[in-house]
Structure 1
Amino acid sequence: MRYRRVKIPGGTFFFTINLADRRSTLLTDCIASLREAVRTVKLRHPCHIHAWVVLPEHMHAIWTMPGEDDDYSMRWMLIKQRFSRAIASYERVNASKRRKGERGVWQRRFWEHQIRDDIDLGHHIDYVHINPVKHGYVERASAWPYSSIHQYIRRGDLAPDWACDPDLHELAGERL
């Protein structure tokens, strides 16, 4: 069965990517390997990254593809492969994944949402940045080290105390 995805050259998309073991802390434990995988893939296959957050077992990102390119699936495949090759083998691999030469680090698929307009983009950027608070890792979004929120703060687009009101946390999640 072929999985259908929206393919729009130059499109902007929100992604959720999960580890196979949702109790794992592999992404934050091996953040340097993840960063290197993303950097290497982005050099050969550019895209604009609007926002990104890495949590222990999943991550969210928002990308705009180049005008002539719609292949975000290939980029995620390469990022996952590079990261998996860079870390020590630890996971149990079922027979299906073993036959396909997969490690078992990642869930096979990822979730994507096509960003419709600037309002939708803003809501999803907020969601990315509030995610560590939503999951209880920190009380303030700016306290999470693995988030693009720090770039937004440096540019002056967000204040360091952005979304510190607990009522706003709920709003960020409900808008999506």
Structure 2
Amino acid sequence: MARIGIFFGTDTGKTRKVAKQIKKAYDDETMDKPVNVNKADPDAFAAYDYLILGTPTLGSGDLPGLSADAQEESWEEFLPKIEDKDFSGKTIALFGLGDQEGYPDEYVDALVVLYDFFSDRGANIVGAWPTDGYEFASSQSVIDDKFVGLALDLDNQADKTDERVAAWLAQIAPAFDLPT
């Protein structure tokens, strides 16, 4: 088993695309192939000491899931399956997708839901990301003037995605015991 698990929720496939982009930076011994949480085994998920988790924000700041009109089950349905697990001693980095122009008042809000869920279960969350270069009105995922994870906008700032992903991976590398 690789040291790092990468899991994502998605509705349109954009979060899956970013998860695959992140995976390409590492070999199979370091990071497993990305897995959609609607296909994830809760015990296999919890077995990783290092996790990278991605989510889009749907509607008015929701995690993807059936109640948010997602096409399939996603984070909303997966989190209850792992709510009794202890994530103490585990390191987790988060990335989220949103639309600053279409949803400026809830930009990447779903990130904070994952942040709170895993923080409450003892995880060490790394990878806070600066808000510089973004244009949004409000985000619940901003704590201490930073996003709780990497924020991406493939709708309006797709040209910045590669640079942001590379910089974020370099930033989290020490916490994941990765070469920079």
Taking structure 1 as the reference length, the TM-score comes to: 0.29
- Which structure's residues are more often strand, by fraction? 2
Taking structure 2 as the reference length, the TM-score comes to: 0.29
- Which structure's residues are more often helix, by fraction? 1
